Structures are given as structure tokens and as C-alpha cells.
Structure 1
Amino acid sequence: MAHLYRPRRALAALAATAALCTAAAPAAVAQDADGLYGTTDPQYDGVWRTSLAMLAQDTAGVTPAKQAVAWLTGQQCADGGFAAYREDTAKACDAKTEDTNATALSVQALAALGGQDAVVGKAVTWLKGVQNKDGGFPYNPGGASDANSTSVVTGALVAAGEKPAEVLKDGKSPFDGLAALRMPCSAKAGEQGSYAFTPDKGKLYSNEYASAAAALAGRGTGLVVPPGADTPVKAPACAAAASAEDAAEAADAFLAGRIDANGGFLKDLSAKAPDPNTTAWATLALAAGGHKGAALKSYAWLEGNSAAWSKGSPAALGTLVLTAHAVGKDPKSFAGTDLVAALNKTGPAPSAAAKPQAKAAEKDDDGGSATVVWVIVGVGLVAGIGGGLLVSMRRKNA
């Protein structure tokens, strides 16, 4: 069926990723007083959800607790990378467990907070070291490049002051890696402009979550999207050698078309149920493309349909805070819910709550709001939020 994102094997890989962004983990743990956000098992998404929560707090004008920053920086491995979660940081990291998603989102958060140049620089060096020959990035070192990991790393590079187009492996940049995952012009009309997560036996299968991630990366931004213009979504003529901007615009047109067809939302990997996480990512992508009107359609759906998904989940709540920011809405007034207050309750008490409007304006003036959030691959489909390999997909627990 056209709506199936890919064959079973690829679906399983996506599900693993998706786990990151979702929130219902199997085992609950006592909230870590040292800085970990959320109460579910952090094995697959502790770093991801904590980074996402702090990034969202910063965007909303809240200063995360010092112990949260200390906890996150303490998760870094000696070589600069981050694993999904290290229960015992006294033990050396297993290089096989380090991943680009946890590392890249940590960079996003710590670069935004400031004062962590050494940690950020070391993490960026690690990320550059695991870039694939096609220019893209894998979830774990040595794996195949995927759209979500490449997107979150692209956002990390921008956040750290790098120019992604100049981060090359064998002459290819992250944008080249994404181009290889773009559906060809010969694809079905309803799939043109979209992206696959990663090739499956040499074939590409259209994926909405991957498309949203790729669109964000194509705009040179991450999860912190400054509120912008409102221009119509119009897909450019399909071209095999499209620029990153044109490719992102085509992906936006694909996403907007799917959202309109569904009545305001995107569906999960089974193509049967609404997926708040993928819908939120698409909202961010549309806003980043200057399509506020289109983004507000899916944002309105999220206001009325994301309560269960986001309850108590730092990753989901953080994603919604960032989504509200992107469309110029107040995250403290989200369908009667104060998302910022709810997010703050999932972790250690913030050090301070600044004036969100003043902080947002300050960042916009500097042109420095570029952070990304994405995918984590793991085990099993977790139901819950958005946010690691995540791909439709990340494994964020809340």
C-alpha cells in the first residue's frame, strides 16, 4: 500500500527510532535529583529527553537547573560522543553504544545555554569523525546514513557555529547525504518531494517523519525555529539536482498536502493512527519554511489532540514548547495548558524563569536560534513523544 512507509524490516528500524521520541517506557524510575528529566526508564532516551527539555526551557526564557546541566555534561564520553544513557559514568563508554542523536541534541542544548564550549567542541569533533562517505550521518558509527540522524547533526553543526555545507567526507556534505534519500522525480505523485528514512535493500520508501526532519535541515535550522513569514506552500518543479532550499520547499509541499488530506495531522508508521510527534515535526518544518498559515493548521490539531501524548513527558512537552515558539504562539497558553510549567515539573526546579519574549527577541536579533531535534533508534515502539533515532522515530522517553 502506498501509505506504508517501507517494508517490514525498515519499519522495524523506524520504530526503534521512534522509540526515542515517544514516551511510554516500560519501567518507571525514581526521578533523578542530579538532573535527569522524566520518570520513565532512561535507558534509551535519558540524554535525548533531558537535552530537549533544557533546549525548550531556554527557548521559553527559563534557565535550567545547574544540576541538570552538570548531569548532561557528565554523560559525555571521553572521546566526545554521548550514548543514550550512562547509568554509571565512572565506567568507560562502549564506543558501539554512542550515537549521533544523543550527541547532536546535547550540542543543540548546551550551545544554546552557553558556557560549555569545551564539551560542545569535543562533541562536534566526534560527530565529524563518524560522518559517512555519502555525506550523511548514521545513528551509530558505521551504520547507514539516515535522514533523521543527518538532520539532527546538521542542526547541531549550525548551533555550534559550523557551516554544514563545508563539513565534508570524501567531498560530500550532509546536504548531499540527504539528497540521496530524497524520493526520485519518478515517484508517485503523492510522494514527490518526500524523503525516505534510509534505503531498504537499495530502495527508498517515502516517510513523513524523515521528510519533516530533512526539510528542517534543508533550511539550515534545528528545532528552535524563529517565528517568521507566511507565504503559500508551492512545490517547485521536481529536479534531480535540486538545491537544499528547493528540496526543503518540495518536502514542505508534501507535508502540507498530507496534513490537509488527513484533516490537520500526520499518521504513525502504520499509517492508521494520528501521530502527534510527526505532526509536531512537520509543523516546525513548515514554520521554518516561512509557511505560518500551513503550520498553524497542524498546530491547531496538536492543541486539541496532544494532551495524552505529552502528559508528564519532557520530550513531548519540550517539542510542543518549541512548536508553539515556531508559530509565534504562547506556550503558556496551549489549549488551556501552561506547557512551560508542565515541562518544568518533569525535572529539577529551574534556576530562573526569565521573560520569554525578551529572550526570544534577543536570540532572533543575533540570528542564533538554530537547534535541532531528532531521531533515535532503539528497541521497540514506545508510545509517547516526539523528540532521537529516532524517527517517527526517536526513542525519547518522557
Structure 2
Amino acid sequence: MTTARRSAAALAVSAVLSVAVATAAPAAFAAPTPSPAGKLPAGLYGTGDPTYDGVWRQSLALLAQDTAGVRPAAQAVEWLTGQQCDSGAYASYRADTTAPCGPKLPLDSNATAAAVQALAALGGEEKAVEESVGWLKAVQNPDGGWGYNPGGASDANSTSVVIGALAAAGETPEDVLSKDGQSPYDALLTFARPCGGKNGGAFVFQPKQPGIVADSTAAAVVAAKGEGMVVRTDVKDVRGRSCGPSKTVQGAAHNGAAYLGAALAKTGYLTTPPMPGSDDPAEKPDHGNTADAVVALSAQGMAEQVKKPLAWLERNAADWAEESGPAAYAQLILAAEAAGADPSKFGKTDLVAALNATGPEPRKESAAKDGDSGGGTWWFVGAGAAALVGVGVLFGGRRRSQR
């Protein structure tokens, strides 16, 4: 999600939460207050206001660095762990981490799940990971899924990013049951659309709030495979773009990937509608969701469908990433890694060097990979970003970065 859309989404959810207070909803939170202009916290990636995406962009940056074999600066990891509340939860951003997390702080399931993925990959933060996973389990909805904030209706993006966090922490997502005995995959299936008709085969944000369907579909396909932004798979899906009836999450994942493959087949990129109030009504290329689709198609084993969007990103994504900041670079790194490309030679851009330049200088030694000693532990992890209850149609796109 772009900076403007992420900010607008936060304002929109504030309005929704205000209604929740008036109607005695089970959970109500204060709206986040934008950070005042001034010096940003040491250790934080990017130079933009972190109010709406601080924890998210930090988590993606750390995860992408680890995936690329870079050991992040200790200061950067400490910034992320310092954002955690005593309950194990994370908000989108806490300007004052010396103060306890009050009852009106808007806790964020997506930020919490992203932090779990990053810290689990890096290793050495087992207690923080355990506490965050405990909080995520505690706020699981009866249908087995999660909403953006605790108490909110489940949505495909939030459920997907939490599935990834559970997998990253060594949990078995299908065994994490709600008080009604429903698993995260039971919830995920409720967002899958049948083949045929509008959005056939896709995963919608919520049944009554379609959102940006390519976004929720990419997130759900990855989660259904038990993976996330870090995708390395030898699976090969030979069914191509066929869509067929399915009552299983695995079958729904194929249908979702087929939907993405079809959407990308003509141009190689996805599009996004204009922001509310924009003077330009034309849809624009959506670099972030295209990168996420590359990850999803790779997870599903659709190597042929990956080639065209990957090539388009290599030609066209550098300016977008430079403008958007660390999480955008991270998305491209993770897409490149998933597709078997070299993120240090992505078109004419060294994505790894560019990401490193947005934060504190990494440690000199390289991160350990599978089978190596020392360094971070590599996990198959999930992510998505989120849209918000009541604003899925406008803001269903996965969170993008701020500079």
C-alpha cells in the first residue's frame, strides 16, 4: 500500500472504530496520531513518517536482508523488538516506547505477524516471538481467522499474514484452533470464490468487501501453501491457468494462482484504481501487488506464469522502489528470490545495496543459510498486508512502504 493509501486507510479505520464505540462493539481503539516532524528513531529504515507502517516496513526490510544473506545491524533489530508491547502485540508504530501500551492503543495483527516472521528468521529472539504468537492466538476469531485489529471481522490478508507468522514460529497452522474449533485454513476457504463469473477463483478480502482482489489472492495463495514472502519450492503445478471446483485449501490455492496468472498474462503487471479524490481516473501499474503475485505464483510452482511479470518488474520497478522506500525494495528482493533471480542484479538495480542504504549499516558478516552454522535461521514464512474492516473496497491493497 502506498503512503497515501496507508494513511487514508488508517483515517478510515478511525472512523469505523468511532462507530464501534458508539454501538458498544467488543473492541475500540484510539486512532493513531501522526508523528511530529523531526528526527526519526535510530535504527529505523526509511525517512518517512512511520506512524502507519513503521513496524511493517522494518520487518520486511529485516526479512529481505536475511533472505539475501545480509546480517542486519543490531540497532535495527533492537528498534523492532523495542516496539513490542508487554502483551506480545505490536501497534503499527509506538513513538514513545518507554510508556506502556494503553488499552486504547490500536494493536495491529499484521504488524505483529510481520515482526514474528522477521525475528523468527533472524533467530535469537525466541521469547519475543513466543509472546507475539501467544497474543495472536489469543485474539483469533471464532471462525479461525483474524482481522486487522483484534475484534474486527476476519479478512483474507490478515488471516494470511498470521498463518505465515505461525509457520515461521514453528507452529502448525491447521492445528491452531479457535474456541469454535475452526482453523485458519477454515477461515481462508471462506474468502475463496468459485470458478466462473467476476473474480472467479480469486480470494476476496471479505465476502462482502472484495477489496483489491489480486492483493488478497496473492496473500492467500502463499498462506495456503504454508509459505510466505520467503518462498523456495520445488513444487511444480502443471495444471496451468485452469480453474476447477475445490473444497480444499490446496485446490483453492491453485485456483487463486490461476486467477493471478490470467490477470498477468496480457501485460505482465497488475493495476490499481486511482486513489479517492485523484484527478486522474486511469488505473495505474501496481508494482507491489505484481511483486506479491510473483511470490504467489512461485509458491504454487507456476514457473511459466512468473517469467513475464518478473521481467516487467526488472524493467520498470526501480523508480517505484526508490520513491516508495525500504518495504518496496524488500518486496522486490523477496520476489526475485522466490523466482530464482539475483536481487543484486535486478535489471539495472542492486536491490540489496539499495535496501541497505535506507537504514543502519549492516553487520559485516553474512547471514547463514540453510545447513550453515551461526547466523539467522531460515524459515518458510507468510505475509500479507492488510485492509481494514469497512474499507476493504477502497483500501484492500497490501501495505506498501514509506520512505
Fold conserved between structures, TM > 0.5:
yes
- 1:372 to partner: Cα distance: 2.3
* Bigger Cα displacement from structure 2, 136-145 vs 86-95: 86-95
Q: Conserved in 2, the CA contact under 8 Å of 1:135 and 1:176?
A: yes
Q: 1:143 to 1:180 in 2, by over 3 A?
A: same
The one of 216, 227, 244 aligned to 1:221: 227
1:370 — aligned with what? 380
**Pairing 1:126-275 to 2, within 5 Å after superposition:** 126-169=135-178, 170-185=180-195, 187-188=196-197, 191-200=199-208, 207-226=213-232, 228=234, 231-235=237-241, 238-239=244-245, 241=247, 243-261=248-266, 263-270=267-274, 272-275=283-286
Q: 1:48 to 1:367 in 2, by over 3 A?
A: closer
The one of 9, 17, 34 aligned to 1:16: 9
1:348 — aligned with what? 360
- 1:36 to partner: Cα distance: 0.8
1:333 — aligned with what? 345
Q: 1:183 to 1:231 in 2, by over 3 A?
A: closer
Q: Deviations over 1:244-268 (max 9, x none)?
A: 211111101000000003x101111
Question: Distance in 2 between the 1:274 and 1:196 partners?
Answer: 20
- 1:370 to partner: Cα distance: 1.3
Counterpart residue type for residue 131 of structure 2: K
1:282 — aligned with what? 293
Q: 1:378 to 1:131 in 2, by over 3 A?
A: closer
Question: Distance in 1 between the 2:185 and 2:6 partners?
Answer: 22
Question: Distance in 2 between the 1:353 and 1:210 partners?
Answer: 37
Q: Conserved in 2, the CA contact under 8 Å of 1:325 and 1:331?
A: yes
2:302 — aligned with what? 291
Which blocks of at least 5 consecutive residues in structure 1 are unaligned? 1-11, 20-24, 382-388
- 1:13 to partner: Cα distance: 9.7
2:129 — aligned with what? 120
The one of 61, 64, 76 aligned to 2:84: 76
Counterpart residue type for residue 211 of structure 1: T
Cα RMSD for the two superposed structures = 3.0
Q: 1:206 to 1:70 in 2, by over 3 A?
A: closer
Q: Conserved in 2, the CA contact under 8 Å of 1:15 and 1:393?
A: no
Q: Conserved in 2, the CA contact under 8 Å of 1:62 and 1:350?
A: yes
Question: Distance in 2 between the 1:81 and 1:121 partners?
Answer: 11
Question: Distance in 2 between the 1:329 and 1:27 partners?
Answer: 40
Q: 1:44 to 1:192 in 2, by over 3 A?
A: same
Question: Distance in 1 between the 2:98 and 2:122 partners?
Answer: 25
Q: Deviations over 1:155-181 (max 9, x none)?
A: 000000000000111111111111111
Q: Conserved in 1, the CA contact under 8 Å of 2:122 and 2:377?
A: no
More contact order relative to length (CA 8 Å, sep ≥ 6): 1
**1:85 and 2:93 matched:** yes
Question: Distance in 2 between the 1:362 and 1:62 partners?
Answer: 14
Q: 1:282 to 1:28 in 2, by over 3 A?
A: farther
Q: Conserved in 2, the CA contact under 8 Å of 1:195 and 1:205?
A: no
Question: Distance in 1 between the 2:200 and 2:7 partners?
Answer: 20
SS in 1 for 2:345: coil
Superposition TM-score, scaled by structure 2 size:
0.83
Aligned length: 363
Superposition TM-score, scaled by structure 1 size:
0.84
Question: Distance in 2 between the 1:284 and 1:53 partners?
Answer: 16
Question: Distance in 1 between the 2:191 and 2:7 partners?
Answer: 15
Kindly report structure 1 stretches of 4+ aligned residues shifted beyond 6 Å.
12-15, 25-28
